[in-house]
Each structure stands twice: as structure tokens, then as C-alpha cells.
Chains A and B, each alone.
Chain A
Amino acid sequence: MNGYVQGDPLLCIGCRTCMIACVVAHEGKRIYEIDPDGYDFHPKLKVVKTWLVSVPVQCKHCENPACQSVCKSEAISRVDGAVVVDREKCIGCKSCADACPFGAVQMVPLGFVANPDGSRRVVANKCDLCRGVEGGPACRRVCPTAALRFVEHDDVRAIVASKRAGTVAMTRPI
């Protein structure tokens, strides 16, 4: 089963450190050395703030991903427990962004890859669980209030077990 990163709105203070850590994890340390305007800043998660909630929204790494089903260019695949986008194959059709029920896929312009007409190439951008990054999802590691956690098979089982316990507690003889 794929794991995913989930935020706790009671702990999140909306600081967006996770968004910065995401970019640093994917761009690497070169980000500190190159021209400040020489890289793309596209976090793969987004902190959303409403009246009730502040929490980052990111990919749930679905078992039967809608984004993958609608992708015509086979740019989205499941690799090592993560649903990932291959930017090279992405044709920028936006179907995945439309299909994702969670708003976890965003279309972003690549600043340094131009289309033949000179415009910036737009591709799908989403959480890849920091595949290949040492220590796993960077967002989780930097959160100052430990509001993010990596939810795996056992966690889902525990969540379901506690909900069942609640259901049983409410059950009355018929």
C-alpha cells in the first residue's frame, strides 16, 4: 500500500516552512549557490488557510490514481510506493489536475525550458514523497510543530480500528 504525508490542522500554524523545504529537497543545495532568479520555485504541496483550518494539501498517492488513469502520455506512474510525474513525458494537457479529487496536482511553468514559440513549458507538479531524497519527505522533517506525518499501512489500520471502537461504543441492542 502506498503511504502519504498528512497534516494535522490542530498542530499546523500555517508557516509554510514545508513548502520551502519541498523546493530545496527537489532542487538540491545548488539552490543556494546559483543566481537567485535562476531556478524554479514550485512547491509540490500548498498550505491552505480557511476559517476553520490551516493545513498543507498534497498528494494522497492513491492506489488507483485518477491522474494516472487520465494521463494520455504515460507520464504518471507508480514507482516504489509513490505516484510520480515524469516531466519529460508530460504534454501539459492538464487532465490530471482536473481529475485529481484533492487538488493535489498543479500546473507549473518551467522557467528555463521554452516551447518552440518561446513561451514557457507547463507541466504537472505534485508530491513524489521525496523519492531519492535521503531521510524521506522533507516537509515532515522541517515542520516546527511536527504537524506532518507519514501515514503508512499500520497507521491506516490503527485509524480504522479506533473508528470501529467508536462505532461499537455507539451500538445499542435492537
Chain B
Amino acid sequence: MSNGVHEIEDAALLFVFGYNGADSHPIVARRIVRAKQKGATIICCDPRRIETARIADMHLQLRNGSNLALVNSLAQVIIEEGLTDDKFIEEHSSGFEEFKELVRVNYTPERVSAVTQIAPEDIRRAARLYATSGRSMILYGMGVCQFAQAVNVVKGLANLAIMTGNFGRWGVGIGPVRGQNNVQGACDMGALPNSYPGYQNVTVPEIQAKFEKAWGVKLPNKAGIALTQVPHYVLHEPEEKKIRCYYVFGEDPAQSDPDLPEVREALSKIDLVILQDIYMNKTGQYADVLLPSTGWNEHDGVFSCCDRGFQRIRKLVDPPADADVLTDWDIISRISTAMGYPMKYNNTEEIWNEVISLCPGFIGATYEKLEKYGNIQWPCRSADMSDKGTSFLHKDGKFANADGRARFSSIEWQKPTELENDEFPIILSTVREVGHYSVRTMSGNCRLLRNLEDEPGWVQMNPELCSDLGVRHGELVKVLSKRGHCIARCLPTERVKKQAVYMTYQWWIGACNELTIASLDPISNTPEYKYCACRVEKIDDQAWAEQYVLDEYVKIRESMGIDVRGNKRGEAA
């Protein structure tokens, strides 16, 4: 995020785009609620009537997959009506003329209203509010990122902030509220195919030399392979390029990746699969080696918040004496040593000191400061105690490009990959539900959260669609796509439109990733989880379906070594 999470409540206007805080991050949602209490205007862009939409001043209930059409149209109105911050554009940006030309004719609110399903007057009103609040902050989430056109929509949102001068101050900017806990940390630490820790590119010779010197080994200068490209590299590349070993930690691709039938085929064809996790999961069923590691409360470390804030996490409890588990960093050290590179640390502070010594943007975020101040947002470039980090980026209009200017991006809206058709007439979009986190590795093992929601999960459907299909609340239905099918419970809700249904991706039985499409954004390689074509079918024999769910659940849990004695479903009255 360009600005701190704590700044959310001080914005004069929150523009919440494809971000469902209440279900994804209740603690961030609390900031949105507080902003509202403090008098902020809220504009919510989401195809569903999410909690934020309820308290918003405007809800733009756009059609799924029309993101960039709407964003470019908002820009068109801001330019057309002379609401741009011309001084900011002149002094701190480049590429505005080209962008102006792109949106001028083709992105008028009238032109895009068929695609976005939003009345032109609403687009105009939202654009005016955003451009004139004086302090507008954009928050976006997976509703932007999980499309084949994702990075370009982010750039489109950045265009809005640049042209209105909403950068480099308190309570403005653009905030990707990340998908997972510490996903920011994973990126910060270089768990990306193209960078070392601190976003230092592997293809830059000086960077390569710096890390070679620090670690005393030769390093490659080519970017690696993205997680979502693994199936392709196993199934479709020639022998010499094939992936032979897949070392997975803290991840469950056999549950969370799109097109699960393909993922399973890939996993069963890889020579060696290693899984390092706190509990058994779906991927573990394909693993040759399991490395049990400690949970979040059993080890020390540093997490990064989505707003670049480093925070220490501290061990609360010892793992059970007979558990035979190690911390992740200890496992990595031992594997490394066994492979011929002796790696030894005594504690996480030693690791952290190495990280910050190699990353100019992190160098001032010492353990001492994390301890004293609780939270240090990078960049923090000085070890001096007076450098407490950076709450918001781009102060005085200085941007990270070589010329110090923000760049406008002129990009046309593109349709989603797999559109509805006669056989699969409904859009399937995957979403979150509060209470269950990610692939349920943790929350599925929390008894109370399991009591609240359990297998096979729900499919959110418009009541009219339910009555067309003759299905009722709680009834088990079959959801199908070109790639596969699964069974879930029907949840009629007027908060969704008839054209799309919504499922959460953590359920083993109601596994919506059996259906999703592995169409990737060309830059981020994030899959189009938010759009594929599907069909919902009524199941006539409900007794059979209920029994199927029970049997499957027991089967899966047994295969993961879970004690299933006395297994019974909580009564849903």
C-alpha cells in the first residue's frame, strides 16, 4: 500500500474497489467503519452487495469482469469535467496526453454503461466525488487482482490517483489490501521468481554480484517460474525443461490453484514432491516427503503487513514434546546444509540482520526498533532510532521510476477469458468468507470456526436463479464447468445478481477450484479466479447427496490421518 492502514480512517473519501474487507480482513474493515463514523464518503465498486456497499454513499454494482472499462470511464469524466490536478500532472507525471486520447471517446460513461451495467450518471457522480474530496484513498483487493487483466487495472486505478494528485500525503494513495497474511512479507523477502529480498531484481548484474559475495556462491541471473506455471512446466514442456522436484511450504496448490484436475495430474507426474506445513493438506496426499513445521504461535519471526509494516511475532507456546516438529527456518537450514551449503543461525534476529544488511530499503528496521516501536514501515534507510520508517510513499511527488515521475498507463479494457455460453450460462467467481482463512489448513482445524461453517460450503445464488432451478436454502446442488464439478449448499441471497454465483475456495468437498480456469495475468501470473463459466444443477436425490458429503468428508479426513471417531455434523437449524 502506498499509505498506512492506520491512515484509512483519516481519508475524506474511500474508494473501495473489488475489496471485501468485512470477509477478508475484519480488522481492516474496522478502519473503514471508523472512517465512515468520522464522516468519510465511501464509494464501493463490487458486483455483490458486500458489507462495505451497505454503509457506502454509493454502490457501483458493476458487472463482473468490467473493471478497467469502469476505471477508464471514471478517468474520462474527471478529465472531461476539468477536475484534474494539473499542477501535479505537470510536475510529477508523464504520459498524460496519450492517456487522455485513449479515454476521450471510447470510455465515456454512455459508451461503457452496457459493459459495466452502471448508469452513466452514477459514473459521473462517483468520479466527481473521488476527484474533489481533497483526500481520496483507493483500497483494492482480489476483485482487481484475480483476473487475466489485473495488473493493468491496478495501473488504471493509479492513473486516477495521479491525475487528481492523491499521492504523497496522509490519507490518500492506493492500497492493495493483500490476499493473505504476510503475503507482503513473502514478497519483501524475495519469494518471487524474479527478485532477491527487497525487490532487487535477479537480472541486474550488480545485485547478482552483491548477493554472490554475501552468500559465497554463484547465482543464476534468470527469473524463475511462477507457482501458477508449474502445471504447464510439468505437463507441456520438453523433457529438458520439465520440473522434477516441487518443494511446497505453507501452501496447498491442490486446493488453492485453479483447474484442480490439471494440478493433480501435474503433482502425480512430478518425480519428487516435498510438503512442509503445520497440518496435512490436499497437496500432502501427493507428497513423497512431509516436513512438519511449527505453527504461528510456536515460533519467532517478522511479518510484513500489507502497508509495508514489519512487526515481530513471538513464540507463545512450545510445540508438544512428542510432536517432532521444527521451525521453518531450522528446516531450511538443515536441508541447505545437507545439500552442501552449510547454513546456521542461532535465532531469527541473526536471519533478520542478514536480510536488512542486504536490503537498502529495510536496513533501518532493526529488532531494537521493532521491539521499541512495534511496527516499522519500509522504506527505513537509517539505523538511527529517529528513523521510524515511512507511513506513506511518494512524498513531494517523488516516484520510484528513474525520472522520479509517475507514469500514466494507457490500456484498453479486455474481456475475461471464458465467457458464459449455452452449456455454462452463469459466471462463477471465487470469494472469501469470514471465519475461514485461506485453504482452511488452520481455520478448518479450529473447532469453533468449523462449528460455524463446515463442509461442503455454500454457493451464493440470487433467489430468482434458485427458483428457476427449483432449489432451496441449504439444499445440495451440483456446480459444473468445462473442467470439473463439485457439490455445495445453495445459499439464496439478494446480495448477488442473477448472472453470477459465488463460492469460497477452502472447502475440500465444495472445492470451487475444480471449476476455475488457469488463465493467468501475463505480468503477475495470478489466475482469473473471479471469472469462469459454470452451470448449477439441482440434485433430485438429496438423501444420497447428504450421505455422499458425509462419506467424502470422513474419507478425506482419514486420508490425512485425522481421528474421525464420533464424526457428526453440527445441526444447522
Q: Which residues of A contact B (CB under 8 A)?
A: 9-17, 19-20, 23-24, 31-32, 35-38, 41, 49-54, 106-109, 111, 144-145
Chain A at the B interface: SS class? loop
- What chain B residues lie within 8 Å of A23 (beta carbons)? 448, 451
Inter-chain contacts of A41 with B (CB < 8 A): 448, 451-452, 570
Determine whether the beta carbon of A107 is less than 8 Å from that of B573. Answer: yes
Nearest-CB residue, chain A, relative to B448: A20
A144-B451 in contact (CB<8A): no
CB pair A13–B573 under 8 Å, yes or no, is: no
- Tell me the minimal C-beta distance from A24 to chain B in angstroms: 7
Whether B494 lies near A13 (C-beta < 8 A) is no
Contact of B26 among A24, A107, A109, A144 (CB under 8 A): A144
Other-chain contact of B55, A10, A51, A106 (Cβ < 8 Å): A10
Q: Footprint of A on B, CB under 8 Å?
A: 21-22, 26-27, 29-30, 33, 36-37, 49, 51, 54-55, 434-435, 447-452, 493-495, 566-568, 570-571, 573
Decide: A106 near B434, CB < 8 A? Known: A23-B451, A41-B451, A51-B49.
no
Complex Cα distance A16/B494, Å?
A: 19
Is A16 within 8 A of B434, CB to CB? yes
The answer to whether B566 touches A37 (Cβ under 8 A) is: yes
Residues of B with C-beta under 8 A to A9: 54
In the complex, 11 of the A-B residue pairs with CB atoms within 8 angstroms, ordered by the A residue number, are A11-B33, A14-B434, A16-B452, A20-B452, A35-B566, A38-B566, A41-B570, A50-B494, A107-B573, A109-B573, A145-B33
Residues A109 and B435 in contact in the complex (CB < 8 Å), given A23-B448, A41-B451, A53-B54: no
On whether A54 and B54 interact (CB within 8 A), knowing A13-B22, A24-B448, the answer reads yes
Partner of A13, one of B26, B452, B570: B26
Alpha-carbon gap, A111 to B573, bound state (A): 13
B249 to A: closest C-beta gap in Å: 26
Q: Which of B21, B494, B568, B573 contacts A108 (CB 8 A)?
A: B573
Closest B-chain residue to A43, C-beta based? B452
- The complex places the Cα of A21 from the Cα of B22 at a distance, in Å, of 18
Contact among B435, B571, B573 for A15, CB-based, below 8 A:
B435
**Distance in Å: Cβ of B340 to nearest Cβ of chain A:** 44
Chain A residue nearest to B451 (CB atoms) is: A41
Q: Which of A13, A35, A37, A111 contacts B51 (CB 8 A)?
A: A13
B354 to A: closest C-beta gap in Å? 37
CB–CB B447/A36 < 8 A: yes
Find chain B residues with CB under 8 A from A15 CB.
22, 26, 434-435
Nearest CB of A to B450, in Å: 7
Residue numbers in A under 8 Å from B451 (CB-CB): 20, 23, 41
Whether the Cβ atoms of B573 and A106 lie closer than 8 Å is yes
Chain B residues with Cβ under 8 A from A24's Cβ?
Answer: 448
